[in-house]
Amino acid sequence: MGIVKCVGILTSGGDAPGMNAAIRAVTRAAIYNGLQVKGIYRGYRGLITDEIVEFKSQNVSNIIQLGGTILKTARCKEFTTPEGRKIAYEAMQRHGIDALVIIGGDGSLTGARIFAQEYNIPCIGLPGTIDNDLYGTDTTIGYDTALNTILDAVDKIRDTATSHDRLFFVEVMGRDAGFLALNGAIASGAEAAIIPEFSTEVDQLEEFIKSGFRKSKNSSIVIVAESELTGGAMHYAERVKNEYPQYDVRVTILGHLQRGGSPTAHDRILASRLGAAAIDAIMEDQRNVMIGIENDEIVYVPFSKAIKNDKPIKRELVNVLRALSI
Ligand code: ADP
């Protein structure tokens, strides 16, 4: 214990609201525990290009309410090569950084795992992604805020859908995970969600039409998860236009607005707890784990487990949506 003196912190991959709250929490908790903190800009790229500065408590003042990430984020191809990671390691040595906290998604934690194995560096991951697709944690930083953004957008779309008796396909983010689509559909009272998890099981559009779409309603909203597995909202709109030309179909792709905005209370609290726990983990000599939250308790999830496993969608949620959309 006690071998770590200086922690480097970076945000990597897709940005998510609440990353700033996590940066603040890691920085303050580290300083509280007597550690030095170095902020690394633009994810792993900042290690390679040497964009590294000392962070004091004031560096993270007034950021808890901000979306995005003050440390910036990037995707860095060079870091996926052994040569790139060697340059990154040398920068860490120059700056005296002896542990890393990485805030990011699946890809970022994969990079952390490889880096940690190669150079024997304690790496702690925080699940920062709106997609909620990391195994071993009930929720991820940014997911709740994105869900609320979807809710706000769909409420507005419903006004126009109802006025014109239209069928709307609303595409939401989530990569290959349907959490945003499914819970977004339940929360907004949408008629159905088309999610990648079930794309190979059933024809979800056919199910929706068969289940009596529009028997008792004059408008409908279907949330579609963006994914190669679903084909996206445009794909379904085209199908309906061809197969059911009597319906007035429209598409809205919510896109990057789902990534922005001030984090919700839930995401700020989550990020604060996870950030503080990352420093607890370092003080306890933990390494190569993602900090998660399960049943409201902090858990340490080995990278191998968090990355390799697909987080399952609860069937109960699918049943709730089906029952409530009649
Ligand atoms: P996310 O973390 O949001 O899933 P990406 O998948 O784009 O985002 O990954 C972010 C960064 O993590 C990549 O640009 C790269 O620098 C690093 N990374 C991803 N996969 C690997 C890998 N297999 N080996 C090394 N680094 C990786």
Q: What is the pLDDT along the chain (326 residues), one digit of tens a residue?
A: 458 999 999 999 999 999 999 999 999 999 999 999 999 999 999 999 999 999 999 999 999 999 999 999 999 999 999 999 999 999 999 999 999 999 999 999 999 999 999 999 999 999 999 999 999 999 999 999 999 999 999 999 999 998 888 999 999 999 999 999 999 999 999 999 999 998 878 888 888 877 766 555 677 999 999 999 989 999 999 999 999 898 899 999 999 999 999 999 999 999 999 999 999 999 999 999 999 999 999 999 999 999 988 899 999 999 999 889 87
Closest ligand 1 atom to 106 CA: 4
Which residues line ligand 1 at a C-beta cut-off of 6 Å? Answer: 12-14, 44, 75-76, 79-80, 104-108, 110-111, 114, 129
Q: Do β-strands 249-253 and 297-302 pair in parallel, antiparallel, or remain unpaired? A: unpaired
Q: Exposed (0-12), middle (13-18) or buried (19+): which is 79, by Cβ within 10 Å?
A: buried
User: Going by CA atoms, what residue is nearest to atom 27 of ligand 1?
Assistant: 111
Report the separation in Å between the CA atom of 321 and the middle of ligand 1, taken as the mean of its atom positions. 34
User: Going by CA atoms, what residue is nearest to atom 12 of ligand 1?
Assistant: 108
Closest ligand 1 atom to 44 CA: 16
Q: Give the gyration radius of the chain's Cα atoms.
A: 21
Domain ranges of the chain: 6-142+263-308, 144-260
Q: What is the 3-state secondary structure (H, E, C) of 128-161?
A: ECCCCCCCCCCCCECHHHHHHHHHHHHHHHHHHH
User: Going by CA atoms, what residue is nearest to atom 20 of ligand 1?
Assistant: 107
Candidate from 12, 85, 119 with most ligand 1 atoms within 8 A of CB, to mutate? 12
CATH T-level assignment (fold) for domain 144-260: Rossmann fold (3.40.50)
Closest ligand 1 atom to 109 CA: 2
pLDDT of residue 1: 47
Which of left, alpha, beta for 304 (phi over 0: left; psi -120 to 50: alpha)? Answer: alpha
Measure the CA angle with vertex 117, ends 115 and 123; round to 5°: 60
Q: What is the CATH number of domain 6-142+263-308?
A: 3.40.50.450
pLDDT of residue 224: 96
Report the separation in Å between the CA atom of 97 and the middle of ligand 1, taken as the mean of its atom positions. 21
What's the whole-model pTM score? 0.96
- DSSP of 253-294: E-GGGGG-SPPPHHHHHHHHHHHHHHHHHHHTT--SEEEEEE
